[in-house]
Chains A and B, each alone.
Chain A
Amino acid sequence: MAEVQQKESGDGKKGKPKKMHIHVDFTPMVDMNMLLITFFMLCTTLKKPQTMEISMPSNDKNITEEDQTKVAASRAITILLGGQDKVYYYSGQPDYTDYQTLSETTFGADGLRAVLQDRNREIVTQLEDLKKEKLETGMTDEDFNKKASEIKNVKTAPVVMIKGSDASTYKNLIDALDEMHLCGISKYAIVDITEGDQFLIDNYESKGALSSQIDTSKL
């Protein structure tokens, strides 16, 4: 709506050009804009979802024994995801007769993260140094990533196996993968849980009550 306001020139003499005062009322425009803003605010999202990239090994049956990487027991850590957000771990080969071969921990900063960073101490400190260097020298992201992966891929780096039990949830898996990211572990795998691992959890929960049931002749 555009109003054309006419200013009274007092005596109203003819012949004198009238002073025009043009004023456009923007109120309806503002109303409409507000409506549109409300619509956009309600119907859209600003945040783009984050994502985690993950590559699984191929489970091709034709892969020979030689192709499979054998992991030294000293470097291997197995994380078992239990029910009710519980998490257990053991390193190397477990001792099935002793329930304390398994240790329980939490997903918190002083739980699994402390354990893994302690095991991976060398790499974590190197990565921290690299980060500081990046801040000081203004290294490009490309260089940084290259150097970081060099550090992570040393031969002595620990290898983590993540095994989820039937009682665990998707959140547990994501939390475990998060820890891999934070602890600078580049070699990890999501592996199916075995009967033995499930037994370890059950045995730990019952504080060794199941140890007597082990058929020692089969070990």
Chain B
Amino acid sequence: MPRVKVKRKSTLIDMTAMSDVTVLLLTFFMLTSTFVQKEPVQVNTPDSVSEIKIPETDILQILIDQDGKIYMSLDRPADKAAVLEDVAAQYGMELTAEEISKFRTLPTFGTPIAKMKSFLALTSDQQDKALKGEVNGITAGIPCDTTKNAEGFDDKNEVKVWVKSARAANGNLRIAIKAAAGTPYPTIRNLMTSLQDIRENRYNLITNLKNIKEEERVVIK
């Protein structure tokens, strides 16, 4: 009996269609997503039903972690440099051009201004650690002490100074507060009163979207 000849088939698969799909997916991801911002601490924001989206530019974000440490980030590098120079001048500090350009590239800052020089001298790895409070001699978080001194000024409240000069650098700035769900209320109250003191009465609170059932929206008959 003659053997049935098995036709040898090429194992080559046409990848063109697959390539089309992946390019489409890639385009979708590139266009719709935004990069995760590097934050020194993990913050779980509380949920709310509010559906307003936060604008993308001109944001001064105040980040508060579970322990009440306050960090800040500005989105425009040019603003950052101006703000740092302004704040440093108010505290009588001289910063070199190199230090300012280093500050421009920082995603988030959050140390007392007195420690700014030694913070900027660190490597980027060490800076991340310093913001978590793991480097000796540098305390993490911007001081927001509302207790007043003998003359009636709260000179330890650096948050006020930063926000004020950020406002001076960019008039369209919006303040967004991103705080962890478990942050103790007194910290929030301190921050809110500090902002009120410098007449920053409008700000945004960043939250996650909470879905509630339609029948739970209105509970009365």
Contacts and interface: CB of A to CB of B under 8 A. Distances in A.
Interface string B14-55: 111011001101100110111110000000011111111110
A36 interface: yes
B151 interface: no
B46 A56 contact: no
Looking at A55, A117, A171, A192, the one whose CB has the most chain B CB atoms below 10 A away is: A171
Interface stretch (A12-20, A24-32, A71-79, A149-157): A24-32
Contacts of B19: 26, 29-30, 33
Given A55-B201, A174-B48, A181-B49, A48 B185 contact: no
A182 B193 CA distance: 26
A14 to B, nearest CB: 27
Interface in A102-152: 109-110, 113-114, 117-118, 121, 124-125, 128
Contacts of A181: 48-50
Given A29-B15, A30-B18, A53-B52, A170 B188 contact: yes
A53 B174 CA distance: 11
Contacts of B49: 178, 181-182
A172 to B, nearest CB: 7
B179 to A, nearest CB: 5
A174 to B, nearest CB: 4
B94 interface: no
Contacts of B22: 30, 33-34, 37
A9 interface: no
Interface in B132-161: none
A113 B176 contact: no
Contacts of A169: 181-185
A148 to B, nearest CB: 14
Interface string B183-202: 11110110011011101011
Interface stretch (A93-101, A160-168, A211-219): A160-168
B126 interface: no
Interface in B1-25: 12, 14-16, 18-19, 22-23, 25
Interface in A182-213: 182, 190, 192
A128 B189 contact: no
A40 B26 contact: yes
Q: Chain B: interface secondary structure? A: mixed
A58 B34 contact: no
Interface string B201-214: 11111111110100
Contacts of A29: 15, 19
A58 B196 contact: yes
Given A50-B207, A52-B204, A171 B186 contact: no
B29 A49 contact: no
A10 interface: no
A166 B68 CA distance: 13
B36 A44 contact: yes
A128 B25 contact: no
B219 interface: yes
A37 B26 contact: yes
A26 B16 CA distance: 6
A165 B188 CA distance: 11
Closest 3 CB pairs of A and B: A26-B15, A44-B33, A33-B22
Given A58-B196, A166-B185, 14 more contacts: A23-B12, A26-B14, A30-B15, A40-B33, A46-B32, A51-B54, A53-B202, A56-B201, A124-B220, A164-B185, A166-B186, A171-B46, A175-B46, A178-B50
